[in-house]
Amino acid sequence: MTASEILSHFLSRAHWADPDETVDRVIIGDPQAQVRRVLVTWISSFAALRAAAAGRCQLLITHEPTFWAHREELARVEDWTPGTPKRELAERKRGFIEDNGLIILRIHDAWDRMPEIGIPWAWARFLGLGRRPAAIGAEGYQHRYDIEPVSLAVLARRIAASTAALGEPAVQVVGDHEQIVSKVGVGTGCACDPLIFQEMGCDVSIVCDDGNWYWENLQLAADADHPIIRVNHGTSEEPGMATLAQYCKEQFPALTVDHLSHGSCFRLVGGL
């Protein structure tokens, strides 16, 4: 298959994604080149690129950007002043991709809302919240799951027990630990605004650190007595990367598809 054919497959199923506006596209490499081995990962970091090259993959499918910009990635690179550290790193990264014959395909918008198996569904199942949301927000990214009433502390410990497997053994909690909650807002990336969760009837929100700041929306939630459990962006989307890799294996049986787990972008270190 070609990267172009794989992209067309996803876009043909993602009626919510405008083909002209979506960030889902071949970022770099020949879209028409034949590929046999594929690596699926959350973000095309240098580490992921090296893993793809070592595994003799022709195609790397990434959910997040390669060149640190959500849109127009290579065009942004050209805007950066030559000789600056950012431009030099981008050129080094692009050189590595080209020297190793890699094709980078981004699948983001299509997978964020793919019913039943996309990012928020996979995340909720991983956390043990259920398979079907009680409500879905207007844009399709934010979900509500109704559970048996528990204290915020108990729910947070359950979440942390799950995320430990992804490299994040502790979660951040804002709110009264004794507050009883049962309507859980679940979202990932920047699509997890606590205000929208409150409008959906949620009494607690599980959010990630991309787009949720303590001085703004988290403080607003705290002032509204709406508790928050916050995790890392990479943690929240890793279950969806596992389902993406499995989907590719099932839909493209002629390809060899591997999954490179990313998980949390950081590790917690305590004092001596």
SS3 61: strand
Are 173 and 227 in contact by the 8 Å Cβ rule? The answer is yes
Quote the CA–CA distance of 218 and 199 in Å, as a whole number. Answer: 15
Find all residues with CB under 8 Å of 28, minimum gap 6, and list them. Answer: 66, 74, 94, 97, 98, 102, 103, 104
In tens digits, what is the pLDDT along the chain, a chain of 272 residues?
999 999 999 999 999 999 999 999 999 999 999 999 999 999 999 999 999 999 999 999 999 999 999 999 999 999 999 999 999 999 999 999 999 999 999 999 999 999 999 999 999 999 999 989 999 998 889 999 999 999 999 999 999 999 999 999 999 999 999 999 999 999 888 889 999 999 999 999 999 999 899 999 999 999 999 999 999 999 999 999 999 999 999 999 999 999 999 999 999 898 98
Q: Which domains can be identified in the chain, with CATH numbers?
A: 3-112 (3.40.1390.30), 119-233 (3.40.1390.30)
Q: What is the C-alpha R_g of the chain? A: 19
